[in-house]
């Protein structure tokens, strides 16, 4: 058990300089079927997505403590005893104290608050790290090339805790607008801005659904140089039920209307039924309905810490970036 953990950790060594938040174990690909282990600085999160290793739970926690000397280990069971997937997973501190579950992680130049006991996700989606770092690099290039005007603008839809926007602002975005239906989540985004010494600028926080914001921005003539659209598979807001299969591509086309020429547009989903090639093609077609010369810059899944990505429903991502 201990040697498996240490081996999995060393496989992630290319990430060590960039971040202290990454997936250490991604299920069967790392020798732990039905289990994931995520590092968030000095604290670790274990999730059981299946019954395969539940009987060894105590042994696993002890091995994590011995291997990594954490301040805290939180265990979440994502599967009920009857085998049903749980969105509201039971959470337990297996090592450490409640206050130890809260901390700050680094990601490139950025810092983010995390709380392993807040929700199923502690505040930062690890599988989008490589895209967040690229967003910062792209805005650094955009701001460096800007001749005049107000500077490049970024739009972060389904923004969650605004991590994409933190990177965009650190890269030189003049404004990074966040749209999310949760006021509580947007407050966490404001805290992440403060943690990174970013001032709050007019128009950067919008509580409401993404489609509502995009249509408002279109009417107001707002335009953005970069857009990220990373929706949940399903969401509900004021009687509107967002379904990623039905509503994503029409939303992509509407977003394209507020994307500046020479801008970029990243679209992603964790919906397990999407195939990367078809997803990327559909996104490009939707953007091309507005920008005829749009091209796909890349299409990809999860980063190296998600070994065996796509082989299970709890570890899947399709993402594509289009340039116009």
| pLDDT tens sequence across 277-318 | 999 999 999 999 999 999 999 999 999 999 999 888 778 999
Residue 151 inside a domain? The answer is yes
Same domain for 144 and 270?
Answer: yes
Q: Copy the structure tokens of residue 304.
A: 């190296």
Same domain for 7 and 89?
Answer: yes
Q: Copy the structure tokens of residue 6.
A: 């240490």
Mean pLDDT of 119-131: 93
Asked if residue 148 has pLDDT above 60, the reply is no
**The pLDDT value given to residue 48:** 94
**The pLDDT value given to residue 283:** 98
Contacting residues for 206 by C-beta, under 8 A, at least 6 apart: 177, 178, 179, 180, 213
Same domain for 19 and 133?
Answer: no
Residue 263 inside a domain? The answer is yes
Asked if residue 89 has pLDDT above 80, the reply is no
Mean pLDDT of 56-80: 94
Same domain for 178 and 235?
Answer: yes
Q: Is the dihedral of CA 83, 88, 90, 94 positive or negative?
A: positive
Same domain for 28 and 147?
Answer: no
**pLDDT confidence of 120, banded at 50, 70, 90?**
confident
Same domain for 71 and 35?
Answer: yes
Residue 113 inside a domain? The answer is no
Q: Specify the residue for token string 């507005």.
A: 290
**pLDDT confidence of 83, banded at 50, 70, 90?**
low
Residue 299 inside a domain? The answer is yes
Same domain for 241 and 301?
Answer: yes
Residue 236 inside a domain? The answer is yes
What domain count does the chain have? Answer: 2
Residue 226 inside a domain? The answer is yes
**pLDDT confidence of 198, banded at 50, 70, 90?**
very high
**The pLDDT value given to residue 276:** 96
Instruction: State the chain's mean pLDDT as an integer.
Output: 94
Read off φ and ψ for residue 116, nearest 5 degrees: -70, -10
Q: Is the dihedral of CA 207, 211, 216, 218 positive or negative?
A: positive
Same domain for 147 and 22?
Answer: no
Q: What is the CATH number of the domain that holds 19?
A: 3.30.750.80
Is residue 148 within 8 Å of residue 157, measured between CB atoms?
no
Task: Report which secondary-structure segment, H or E, holds 62.
Answer: helix 57-68
- In tens, the pLDDT along 37-62 reads 999 999 999 999 988 999 999 999 99
Same domain for 307 and 162?
Answer: yes
Domain that holds residue 76: 2-100
Residue 117 inside a domain? The answer is no
Same domain for 167 and 96?
Answer: no
Same domain for 68 and 152?
Answer: no
Rg (CA), the chain: 20
By three-state DSSP, how is residue 299 classified? strand
- In tens, the pLDDT along 1-10 reads 999 999 999 9
How far, in Å, CA of 191 to CA of 181, rounded?
A: 17
Residue 130 inside a domain? The answer is yes
For residue 296, give the nearest of 270, 273, 319, 272 by alpha carbon. 319
Which of 83, 100, 117 marks a domain boundary?
100
Which of 39, 66, 100 marks a domain boundary?
100
Same domain for 55 and 140?
Answer: no
**The pLDDT value given to residue 144:** 82
For residues 84 and 321, the model is more confident at 321
């Amino acid at each position: 058990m201990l040697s498996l953990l240490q081996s999995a950790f060393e496989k992630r060594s290319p990430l060590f300089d960039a971040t202290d938040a990454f997936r250490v174990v991604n299920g069967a690909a790392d020798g732990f079927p039905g289990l994931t282990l995520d590092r968030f600085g000095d604290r670790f999160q274990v999730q059981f997505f299946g019954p395969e290793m539940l009987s060894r739970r105590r042994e696993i926690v002890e091995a994590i403590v011995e291997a990594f000397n954490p301040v805290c280990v939180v265990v979440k069971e994502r599967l009920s005893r009857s085998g049903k997937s749980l969105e509201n997973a039971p959470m337990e501190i297996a090592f450490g104290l409640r206050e130890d579950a809260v901390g700050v992680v680094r990601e490139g130049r950025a810092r983010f608050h995390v709380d392993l006991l807040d929700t199923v996700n502690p505040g930062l989606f690890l599988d989008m790290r490589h895209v967040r770092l690229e967003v910062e690099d792209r805005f650094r290039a955009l701001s460096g090339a800007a001749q005049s005007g107000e500077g490049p603008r970024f739009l972060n839809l389904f923004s969650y805790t605004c991590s994409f926007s933190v990177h965009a602002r650190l890269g030189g975005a003049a404004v990074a607008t966040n749209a999310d239906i949760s006021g509580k989540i947007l407050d966490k985004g404001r805290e992440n801005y403060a943690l990174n010494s970013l001032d709050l600028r007019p128009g950067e926080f919008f509580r409401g659904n993404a489609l509502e914001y995009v249509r408002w921005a279109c009417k107001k003539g707002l335009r953005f140089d970069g857009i990220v659209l990373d929706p949940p598979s399903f969401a509900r807001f004021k009687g509107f039920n967002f379904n990623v299969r039905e509503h994503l591509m029409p939303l992509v086309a509407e977003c394209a209307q507020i994307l500046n020429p020479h801008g970029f547009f990243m679209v992603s989903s964790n919906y397990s039924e999407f195939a990367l090639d078809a997803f990327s093609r559909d996104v490009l077609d939707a953007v091309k309905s507005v920008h005829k010369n749009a091209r796909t810059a890349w299409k990809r899944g999860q980063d190296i810490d998600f070994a065996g990505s796509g082989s299970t429903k709890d570890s899947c991502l399709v993402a594509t970036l289009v340039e116009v």
